[in-house]
Amino acid sequence: MEEHILVRVIDGMEDWIPVKAICKYDEVYEILEDENYLNSDDSVLFEFYPGDIIVANCDIFPTADYDQAIKLLKPSERENRKYLEFKFLATSRRLQISLETLNHYSEEIEKIKQEMSQGKCFYSGIIELIKYLDKALERGG
């Protein structure tokens, strides 16, 4: 049965918005395509996307009308999914500055560097993380 859950977004500030989802079983949902995804530009960063299988419950906001998406179980096959994940995690400062992060997101980082060189704007958290990762690489870890 289709219902709504809350997904964390960054649109200049961090917030939660309701999106459509279908409950697979206890606290496990698949996020569905929704007007919030279709009507947003690329400055809106979602933590989770349509097709993602996630855990949602009411632990964060116990009195909220909807469960909150809190953990990714399986990412969707959505094009650029890993790129979108990197942008959200970097902006919300949830990625460690490490060679592991650099290696895991190397293609996404190169894509962002290329877009930055073409004048595309990004949140400061993304730019700062890439600078720190580059410095870590120069130092060898």
In this predicted structure, the answer to whether residue 114 has a pLDDT above a threshold of 80 is yes
pLDDT at 21: 98
pTM score, whole prediction: 0.91
pLDDT bracket for residue 141 (50, 70, 90): low
Mean pLDDT, residues 78-99 taken together: 94
| Mean pLDDT (the chain, rounded) | 93
Q: How far is CA 78 from CA 7, 10, 49, 50, 52, in A?
A: 17, 19, 8, 8, 9
pLDDT value, residue 139: 81
pLDDT, position 7: 97
